[in-house]
């Protein structure tokens, strides 16, 4: 009871000190809560955003091949040539099933046509947009359109040639005119698909002129996000498609092709809302499965063509997976910032402790028992811990809100879209973490303090007592060494046995890291026991650094694969940080002397007291090793993190020239027809270029090459399994297909090949004269392909070469084919032709850069590069015999990011789409993009993410500045007497201020140097790993680093100046009386 | 009737030059409050150049306060304080600092040294503030500390010195700049008799050789007897200056 009273009295007796402790703990807890809230909310926000985009739909039934309309077998009994769409049968049948009755609350059909939308007056074109037919009697769950004035729009009011257009699409197509009443040209292609593999499909293109009746807005109310759609009544689109298919049938019939099973009412999507009580997750998965089975029972072999998907459940799963990585990352970086926060807490606590030590000494001297002292400390500490943690929870929620707000900006959410998620777990865990932390940093040292040497304390000596590490370091050293060594022996693969090969998988490296740390720290503790503490520390520091550098410059190069790596990266940063901080701390003496000497040299001719001031600052710094270390370590941590992320994102943003060149083959522009083939002649490219290449323009096309690309799938067989039919795209390569192909020594082969040359049988490749090729270069294979050369298959027979992107089996997640193996392609004459895979390409602009949705995600379907000799002989799976042309152009503009190129392309599009091009070729319009914008578009998400990370880690500076303020206030308070003495000895007020500020500046600058070294090393490490073998040039953002230096400098000055000035104003006689 | 002190025997005293001249000096702490302390009342005395004077009085009588007033560490409530003809109360902060730096050597009552500096660095500090180079300052410091019998303790921190050694270092620091006047607040308070004697001899010597003026607060009648004269203060009032003529 008495102890309790004492404790509370103490709390109020030392207000400033205890407020600092509470603030410190609160800060740590706030960071912890904030990071949690941030990552939880980000997940929730992404989920909300994705859910928003699918509307109220829970599940859908859609064709397996999304680009195709499916002929409906349900309607087979009807006359396929009936001019009138029958409608409704599918849905009617569906509603009769029990599965439907049990699970589904609402259902409606949608029909989507993927379309190009052209603004005829300007020639502006938007591709890959959805023209959607919706049911006028739609179920209310699937959304109601409203125009910009908020009035409800009903598609039933639309005539066949009228249309509603989404807000976003209007913004893209019209700059200033009023779009209502204007016309749009909408072009869609319809492909019907028979049952693979024996039935061919037919494709037709339809072009419509539609009048814009009204613009609808995206309301963001959880309905489907339509804002770049065109909307018509379902029946209008059905009619249109039906007519298109009729045309196609007639055309096919006239060509004598065999047709089978064209339905009159193609459906692309059926939207479903589950009944209440079906939970997203297991519930929705089961419902999906049941529905699929029921559909199969009614419609027979339905599953082959239709897939029921648990749309909402899938999104939840995807977002969970995506945010798991993200929150791991946030937590990883957050952990480092929290570490900085912990440094602040330790700092505060150790200062509070210094004041308490004296008191403890006196209490012990007058006969207080240790248990009494501990009890008093315990209660006080518990009180402060609870209070600080509670305050931290409040602060953390606020900080979380701030982070979420920032996330909203970085990811361009509308702010309202991200809910702030604060879970009970977050609060409870954070509270206890904060509480425990405060006890560990406050109470334990206080208890230790009760063992102090009373006499020393009473004499007012606060120089650290040489610590007695004694047996503890012996035991721990031994145990750590043992764990480390045993651990290393159990590793699989093992670096001791497998040598370098052990370092190829990042997961293995990550697993091994802690054991190596044990084998570093263990022996060092033994050194500390048998030799001395300082040497032990030096050994730890040196080995940690050495090991980290070994990893950065050697191991990282070796790593080829693996899934994880975040922990590994955190280990690396931690090793670098701890290593540098320890080494700096151990050598603080020498650093301080050097610093003093340097400043003295600068002030060598000065007659002011500056030498006295600097001596005081530097000697003070080295006398308080622990505090100084905590302070510069704080800055080292924050700056390491910031400079690391800064260099990494900077390099990724601006050091990518070579990567862009590699991906685009050095081209600046891509000009292509989005949905429709251009006349297939290579010569055309020059024609086109001549048209564009107006010499009055700034931009001149210096070279252009065309590629022919089959837009549809190529049918092929694998050699070892004639029954496994697969599809691939194909690209025809001829000698003219590459830059400077005539001057062989100047060939630029932009498309790099998979770097796995040890597995290639290409040593057996012989050039045209039969001489074995001595060197194996990418060019060799591409040249061989362009020249239609052959190479030996596994049986040693010479076969034509083919280059492929990875042939990947998504069911087993393996790469199925390697160099030297064979692929059989169907030829139009009905035979199979064997090709040998000359090499595997990492990709090319045409497959790597996705040019609109037309090209699909990279690496998703394989692309075969064949010589153009084979182009017309290959049997394309699709009925489209035309090939698509894509032109890559090089220009005289050096800077790929130049806006001049963009302007030029707007002219090109306008020219092509508004008149001349269509007149000349009767075709539908072309798109021009700069290759850099494709690259940028692909990486935009990443850039945004970097931006967010940078903002996130720069919040660490707030922690740093708070830390410095605390250090400055406390250190000035402790030094009042000292300051009085200095004043009595003839220090001016400003000398006192300078010496205090200088001390903090020096510590900040030490932190800056450490941060710079570690940050750039980590930046380099990450850049070289993520840049894919040095394609990203490592750049140091000097401007940013200058900014960080300035921030550090300013924070040191700002946080120290106020307390220092205040202390310098205390009359010296009073300051001298101060006893702490 | 007052005792006549043997100051006449000190040939160093320059009776034409008052080094210190206090006139009607008052110091009130916490003025205007209930806790007001009138620590120095109407102090009126002179100390002449070359004198070595003891300031004695019971605990709490205002000795430290008086020294602080003279050193300009605390402002006087009223009255005039002149050091070497300079009116301290008229000086601004900056000028007072300069005066302390160049003309006054301080020895404090408690906690005399900066703990984070070695003995040598503590003594050097005033020289460095005067703009001496490191090398010059070191040379003089070494000489000084050797004189004080601390030649082997240059690199020691205060925590590694005995109380007497600490005090000697503090004395060394007050002397190092050759100040015109040395203010010592119980400079031998922590020392035993023989150490005390050693320090006192040193004061005597510098007083003799460099004609420095010393004003030493002490409780020890023995030290008082070794000084030229004793100024006594009781309850803030100067009750004896030691210069009173016997009536
Ligand atoms: N800053 C202050 N505020 C209020 N009172 C003060 C202050 N400094 C000193 N006093 C009071 O002034 C009086 C004189 O104090 P001073 O320290 O000058 O005494 P002293 O003669 O040096 O005593 P001692 O021999 O114990 O050192 C004392 O009553 C003291 O309580
Ligand atoms: Mg006193």
B222 alpha carbon – ligand 1 mean position (Å): 24
Least confident range from A249-258, A591-600, A812-821: namely A249-258
pTM for this prediction: 0.71
Is residue A260 scored above 50 in pLDDT? no
How confident is the model at residue A918, as a pLDDT?
57
The average confidence (pLDDT) of chain B is: 85
Is residue A427 scored above 80 in pLDDT? yes
Contact list in A for residue B116 (CB cut-off 8 A) is: 619-620, 622-624
Place A853 in a pLDDT band, splitting at 50, 70 and 90: very low
Query: Given A309, A337, A370, which residue is the final one in a domain?
Result: A309
Is residue B80 scored above 90 in pLDDT? yes
The structure tokens 């560990």 sit at A440
Please give the torsion angle defined by the CA atoms of residues A306, A307, A308 and A314, in that order, rounded to the nearest 10 degrees: -150
B101 alpha carbon – ligand 1 mean position (Å): 24
- How far apart CA B157 and CA A962 sit, in angstroms, is 32
Containing structural domain, residue A23: 1-50+322-464
How confident is the model at residue A489, as a pLDDT?
77
The structure tokens 């497998």 sit at A498
Is residue A263 scored above 50 in pLDDT? no
Which ligand 1 atom minimizes the distance to the CA of B66?
A: 18
How confident is the model at residue A776, as a pLDDT?
41
The answer to whether residues A551 and A603 belong to one domain is: no
How confident is the model at residue B217, as a pLDDT?
92
The answer to whether residues A392 and A418 belong to one domain is: yes
Tell which of A456, A984, A1067 to mutate to test the B interface (max B CBs under 10 Å): A984
Place A519 in a pLDDT band, splitting at 50, 70 and 90: confident
- How far apart CA A821 and CA A837 sit, in angstroms, is 6
Beta-carbon separation of A985 and B125 below 8 A? yes
A303 vs B184 pLDDT, higher one: B184
Instruction: Using CB atoms, pick whichever of B101, B115, B124 lies closest to residue A986.
Output: B101
From B37, B110, B223, give the residue whose CB has the most ligand 1 atoms within 8 Å, as the site to mutate.
Answer: B37
The answer to whether residues A566 and A594 belong to one domain is: no
- Position A477 in a domain: no
Place A740 in a pLDDT band, splitting at 50, 70 and 90: very low
Place A712 in a pLDDT band, splitting at 50, 70 and 90: very low
Instruction: Please say whether the beta carbons of A189 and A142 come within 8 A.
Output: no
In terms of DSSP bridges, do strands A790-792 and A798-804 run parallel, antiparallel, or are they unpaired?
Answer: antiparallel
Q: Quote the tokens at residue A656.
A: 């990518």
- Position A233 in a domain: yes
Give the mean model confidence (pLDDT) for residues A1016-1026. 80
- How far apart CA A975 and CA A617 sit, in angstroms, is 12
Beta-carbon separation of B128 and A611 below 8 A? yes
Contact list in B for residue A1068 (CB cut-off 8 A) is: 68, 73-74
HSE-CB for A1076 with a 13 A CA cutoff: 23
Beta-carbon separation of B116 and A609 below 8 A? no
- How far apart CA A233 and CA A158 sit, in angstroms, is 7
H helices, E strands: number in chain A: 33, 24
- How far apart CA A983 and CA A992 sit, in angstroms, is 8
Instruction: Please say whether the beta carbons of A841 and A805 come within 8 A.
Output: yes
Query: Helix A15-54 vs helix A311-365: angle between axes, to the nearest 10 degrees?
Result: 180
How confident is the model at residue A681, as a pLDDT?
45
CA nearest ligand 1 atom 24, residue: B59
Q: DSSP class of residue A551?
A: I
Is residue A718 scored above 70 in pLDDT? no
CA nearest ligand 1 atom 5, residue: B29
ipTM, 2 decimals?
0.80
Contact list in B for residue A605 (CB cut-off 8 A) is: none
How confident is the model at residue A1008, as a pLDDT?
92
- Position A596 in a domain: yes
**How many domains in chain A?**
5
Dihedral over Cα of B149, B151, B152, B155: its sign: positive
- How far apart CA B28 and CA B34 sit, in angstroms, is 12
Is residue A939 scored above 70 in pLDDT? no
Could you read off the pLDDT of B95-105 as tens digits, one per residue?
A: 888 888 888 88
How confident is the model at residue B82, as a pLDDT?
92
Beta-carbon separation of A983 and B97 below 8 A? yes
How confident is the model at residue B58, as a pLDDT?
92
Beta-carbon separation of A615 and B117 below 8 A? yes
Angle at A60 between CA A55 and CA A66, to 5 degrees: 105
Count the neighbouring beta carbons within 10 Å of the beta carbon of residue A249: 18
Query: Given A586, A618, A650, which residue is the final one in a domain?
Result: A586
Contact list in A for residue B97 (CB cut-off 8 A) is: 983, 986-989
Is residue A1007 scored above 80 in pLDDT? yes
Beta-carbon separation of B129 and A612 below 8 A? yes
- How far apart CA A113 and CA A270 sit, in angstroms, is 14
A984 alpha carbon – ligand 2 mean position (Å): 16
DSSP B94-143: HHHHHHHHHHEEEE-SS--S-TTS-HHHHHHHHHHHTT--HHHHHHHHHH
The answer to whether residues A241 and A358 belong to one domain is: no
B158 vs A123 pLDDT, higher one: B158
How confident is the model at residue A677, as a pLDDT?
52
C-alpha to C-alpha distances, A754 to A791, A804, A840, A857, nearest whole angstrom? 18, 10, 5, 19
Could you read off the pLDDT of A913-930 as tens digits, one per residue?
A: 766 555 555 555 677 788
How confident is the model at residue A4, as a pLDDT?
56
Give the mean model confidence (pLDDT) for residues B155-178. 86
A985 alpha carbon – ligand 2 mean position (Å): 18
Is residue A41 scored above 50 in pLDDT? yes
Instruction: Using CB atoms, pick whichever of A616, A619, A1072 lies closest to residue B108.
Output: A1072
Most confident of A191-205, A730-744, A982-996, A1018-1032: A982-996
- Position A343 in a domain: yes
Helices (H), ranges, A566-674: 566-586, 588-602, 610-623, 625-654, 657-664
How confident is the model at residue A774, as a pLDDT?
35
The answer to whether residues A345 and A287 belong to one domain is: no
Could you read off the pLDDT of B214-239 as tens digits, one per residue?
A: 999 998 888 888 888 899 999 999 98
Instruction: Please say whether the beta carbons of A1069 and B68 come within 8 A.
Output: yes
A766 vs B163 pLDDT, higher one: B163
The answer to whether residues A942 and A1056 belong to one domain is: yes
Q: What are the structural domains of chain B?
A: 14-61+90-221 (3.40.50.300)
How confident is the model at residue B234, as a pLDDT?
92
How confident is the model at residue A80, as a pLDDT?
43
The greatest distance separating any two alpha carbons of chain A, rounded to the nearest whole angstrom, comes to 114
The answer to whether residues A659 and A788 belong to one domain is: no
Place A82 in a pLDDT band, splitting at 50, 70 and 90: very low
- Position A164 in a domain: yes
Beta-carbon separation of B116 and A624 below 8 A? yes
The answer to whether residues A525 and A658 belong to one domain is: no
Contact list in A for residue B75 (CB cut-off 8 A) is: 1067
Place B21 in a pLDDT band, splitting at 50, 70 and 90: very high
User: What lines the ligand 1 site, CB under 6 Å?
Assistant: A 1070, 1073; B 29-30, 37, 39, 57, 59-65, 109
How confident is the model at residue A1057, as a pLDDT?
87
- How far apart CA A439 and CA B108 sit, in angstroms, is 40
Least confident range from A34-43, A154-163, A573-582: namely A34-43
Is residue A496 scored above 70 in pLDDT? no
Query: Given A551, A586, A621, which residue is the final one in a domain?
Result: A586
Task: Look at residue A824 and give its three-state secondary structure.
Answer: strand
Is residue A1018 scored above 80 in pLDDT? yes
Beta-carbon separation of B129 and A1072 below 8 A? no
Is residue A671 scored above 70 in pLDDT? yes
Instruction: Using CB atoms, pick whichever of A461, A615, A1067 lies closest to residue B73.
Output: A1067
Beta-carbon separation of B93 and A989 below 8 A? yes
The answer to whether residues A23 and A92 belong to one domain is: no
Beta-carbon separation of A986 and B98 below 8 A? yes
Is residue A715 scored above 60 in pLDDT? no
Could you read off the pLDDT of A771-793 as tens digits, one per residue?
A: 444 334 455 677 777 778 888 88
Q: In what helix (H) or strand (E) does residue A318 lie, and over which residues does it extend?
A: helix A311-365
Is residue A212 scored above 90 in pLDDT? yes
The answer to whether residues A162 and A278 belong to one domain is: yes
The answer to whether residues A436 and A533 belong to one domain is: no
- Position A747 in a domain: yes
From B26, B34, B64, give the residue whose CB has the most ligand 1 atoms within 8 Å, as the site to mutate.
Answer: B64
How confident is the model at residue A1015, as a pLDDT?
92
CA distance B240 to chain A (A): 25
Contact list in B for residue A1067 (CB cut-off 8 A) is: 73-75
β-pair partners for A682: none
B52 alpha carbon – ligand 2 mean position (Å): 19
CA distance B6 to chain A (A): 32
B159 touching A (Cβ < 8 Å): yes
Dihedral over Cα of A202, A207, A211, A217: its sign: positive
Q: DSSP class of residue A97?
A: S
- Position A314 in a domain: no
The answer to whether residues A638 and A723 belong to one domain is: no
Instruction: Using CB atoms, pick whichever of A612, A623, A1069 lies closest to residue B128.
Output: A612
- Position A913 in a domain: no
């Amino acid at each position: 009871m008495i102890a309790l009273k004492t404790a509370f009295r103490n709390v109020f007796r030392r207000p400033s000190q205890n407020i600092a402790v509470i603030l410190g703990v609160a800060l740590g807890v706030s960071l912890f809560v904030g990071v949690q809230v941030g990552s939880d909310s980000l997940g929730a926000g992404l989920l909300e955003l994705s859910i928003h985009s699918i509307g109220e739909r829970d599940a859908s039934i859609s064709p397996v091949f999304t680009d195709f309309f499916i002929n409906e077998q349900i309607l087979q009994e009807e006359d396929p040539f009936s001019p009138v769409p029958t409608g409704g049968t599918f849905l009617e049948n569906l509603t009769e099933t029990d599965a439907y009755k049990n699970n589904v609350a609402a259902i409606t059909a949608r029909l989507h046509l993927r379309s190009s939308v052209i603004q005829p007056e300007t020639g502006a074109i938007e591709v890959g947009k959805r023209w959607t037919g919706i049911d006028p009697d739609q179920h209310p769950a699937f959304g109601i359109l409203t125009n910009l004035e908020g009035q409800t729009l009903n598609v039933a009011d639309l005539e066949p040639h009228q249309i509603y257009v989404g807000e976003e699409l209007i913004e893209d197509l019209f700059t200033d005119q009023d779009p209502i009443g204007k016309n749009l040209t909408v072009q869609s292609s319809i492909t019907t698909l028979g049952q693979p593999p024996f039935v061919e499909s037919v494709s037709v293109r339809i072009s419509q002129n539609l009048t814009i009746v009204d613009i609808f807005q995206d309301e963001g109310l959880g309905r489907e996000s339509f804002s770049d759609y065109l909307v018509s009544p379902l029946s209008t689109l059905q009619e249109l498609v039906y007519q298109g298919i009729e045309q196609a049938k007639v055309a096919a019939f006239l060509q004598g092709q065999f047709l089978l099973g064209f339905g009159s009412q193609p459906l692309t999507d059926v939207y479903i809302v589950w009944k209440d009580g079906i939970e997203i997750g297991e519930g929705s998965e089961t419902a999906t499965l049941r529905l699929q089975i029921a559909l199969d029972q009614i419609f027979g072999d339905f599953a082959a063509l239709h897939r029921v998907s648990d749309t909402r459940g899938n999104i939840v799963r995807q977002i969970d997976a995506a945010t798991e990585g993200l929150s791991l990352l946030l937590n990883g970086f957050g952990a480092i910032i929290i570490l900085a926060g912990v440094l602040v807490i330790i700092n505060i606590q150790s200062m509070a402790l210094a004041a308490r030590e004296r008191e403890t000494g006196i209490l012990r001297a007058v006969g207080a028992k240790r248990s009494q002292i501990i009890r008093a400390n315990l209660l006080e500490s518990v009180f402060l811990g609870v209070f600080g943690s509670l305050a931290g929870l409040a602060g953390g929620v606020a900080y979380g809100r701030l982070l979420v707000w920032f996330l909203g900006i970085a990811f361009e959410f509308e702010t309202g879209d991200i809910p702030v998620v604060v879970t009970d777990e977050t609060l409870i865990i954070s509270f206890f973490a904060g509480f425990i932390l405060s006890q560990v940093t406050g109470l334990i040292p206080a208890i230790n303090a009760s063992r102090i040497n009373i006499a020393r304390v009473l004499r007012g000596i606060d120089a650290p007592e040489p610590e007695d590490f004694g047996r503890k370091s012996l035991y721990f050293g031994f145990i750590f060494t043992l764990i480390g060594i045993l651990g290393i022996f159990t590793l699989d693969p093992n670096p001791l046995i497998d040598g370098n090969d052990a370092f190829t998988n990042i997961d293995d490296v990550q697993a091994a890291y802690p054991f190596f740390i044990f084998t570093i720290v263990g022996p060092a503790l033994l050194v500390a026991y048998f030799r001395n503490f300082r040497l032990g520390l030096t050994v730890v520091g040196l080995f940690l650094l050495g090991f980290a550098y070994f990893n950065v410059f050697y191991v990282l190069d070796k790593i080829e694969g693996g899934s994880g790596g975040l922990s590994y990266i955190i280990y690396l940063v931690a090793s670098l940080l701890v290593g540098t901080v320890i080494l700096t701390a151990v050598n603080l003496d020498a650093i301080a002397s050097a610093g003093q000497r340097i400043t003295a040299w600068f002030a060598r001719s000065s007659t002011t007291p500056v030498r006295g001031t600097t001596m005081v600052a530097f000697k003070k710094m080295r006398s308080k090793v622990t505090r100084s270390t905590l302070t510069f370590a704080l800055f080292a941590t924050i700056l390491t993190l910031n400079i690391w992320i800064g260099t990494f994102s900077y390099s990724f943003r601006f050091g990518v020239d070579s990567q862009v060149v590699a991906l685009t083959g050095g081209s600046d522009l891509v000009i292509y027809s989005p949905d429709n083939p251009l006349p297939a002649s290579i010569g055309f490219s020059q024609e086109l270029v001549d048209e564009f290449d107006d010499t009055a323009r700034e931009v001149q096309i210096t070279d252009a090459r065309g590629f022919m690309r089959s837009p549809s799938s190529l049918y092929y067989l694998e050699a070892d399994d004639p029954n496994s039919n697969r599809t691939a795209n194909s690209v025809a390569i001829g000698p003219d297909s590459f830059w400077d192909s005539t001057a062989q020594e100047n060939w630029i082969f932009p498309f790099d090949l998979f770097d796995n040359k040890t597995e290639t049988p290409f040593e057996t490749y012989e050039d045209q004269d039969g001489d074995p090729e001595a060197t194996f270069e990418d060019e060799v294979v591409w040249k061989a392909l362009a020249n239609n050369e052959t190479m030996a298959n596994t049986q040693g027979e010479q076969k034509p070469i083919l280059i492929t992107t990875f042939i990947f089996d998504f069911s087993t997640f393996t790469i199925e084919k390697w160099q030297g193996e064979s692929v059989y392609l169907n030829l139009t004459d009905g035979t199979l032709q064997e090709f040998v895979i000359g090499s595997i390409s990492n990709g090319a602009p045409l497959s790597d850069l996705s040019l609109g949705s037309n090209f699909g995600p990279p690496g998703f379907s394989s692309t075969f590069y064949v010589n153009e000799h084979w182009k017309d002989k290959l049997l394309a799976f699709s009925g489209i015999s035309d090939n698509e042309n894509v032109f890559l152009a090089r220009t005289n503009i050096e800077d790929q990011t130049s806006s001049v190129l963009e302007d030029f392309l707007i002219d090109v599009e306008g020219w092509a789409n508004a008149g001349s091009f269509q007149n000349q070729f009767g075709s539908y319009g072309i798109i021009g993009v700069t290759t850099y914008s494709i690259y940028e578009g692909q990486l935009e998400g990443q850039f945004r993410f970097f931006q967010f990370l940078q903002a996130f880690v720069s919040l660490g500076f707030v922690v740093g500045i708070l830390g410095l303020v605390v250090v400055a206030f406390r250190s000035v308070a402790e030094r009042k007497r000292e300051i009085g003495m200095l004043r009595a000895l003839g220090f001016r007020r400003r000398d006192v201020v300078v010496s205090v500020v200088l001390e903090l500046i020096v510590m900040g600058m030490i932190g800056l140097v450490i941060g710079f070294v570690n940050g750039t090393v980590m930046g380099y490490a990450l850049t070289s790993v993520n840049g894919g073998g040095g394609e990203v040039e490592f750049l140091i953002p000097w401007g940013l680093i200058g900014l960080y230096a300035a921030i550090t400098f300013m924070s040191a000055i700002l946080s120290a100046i106020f307390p220092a000035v205040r202390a310098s104003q205390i009359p010296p006689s009073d300051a001298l009386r101060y006893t702490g | 009737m007052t005792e006549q002190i043997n100051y006449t025997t000190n040939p160093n005293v320059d009776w034409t030059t008052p080094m210190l001249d206090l006139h009607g000096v008052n110091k009130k702490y916490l003025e205007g409050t209930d806790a007001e302390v009138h620590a120095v009342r109407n102090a009126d005395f002179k100390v002449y150049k070359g004198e070595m004077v003891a300031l004695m009085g019971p605990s709490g009588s205002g000795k430290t306060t008086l020294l602080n007033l003279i050193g300009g560490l605390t402002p006087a409530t009223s009255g005039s304080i002149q050091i070497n003809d300079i009116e301290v109360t008229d000086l601004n902060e900056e000028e007072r600092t300069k005066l302390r730096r160049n003309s006054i050597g301080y020895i404090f009552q408690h906690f005399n040294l900066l703990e984070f500096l070695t003995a040598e660095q503590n003594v050097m500090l005033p020289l460095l503030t005067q703009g001496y180079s490191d090398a010059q300052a070191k040379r003089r410091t070494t000489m000084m500390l050797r004189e004080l019998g601390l030649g082997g303790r240059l690199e020691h921190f205060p925590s590694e010195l005995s109380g007497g050694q600490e005090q000697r270092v503090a004395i060394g620091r007050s002397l190092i700049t050759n100040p015109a006047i040395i203010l010592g607040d119980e400079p031998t308070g922590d020392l035993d008799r023989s150490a005390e004697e050693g320090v006192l001899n040193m004061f005597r010597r510098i007083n003799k050789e460099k004609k420095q003026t010393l004003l030493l607060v002490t409780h020890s009648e023995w030290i008082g007897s070794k000084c030229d004269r004793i100024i006594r203060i009781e309850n803030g009032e100067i009750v004896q200056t030691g210069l009173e003529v016997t009536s």
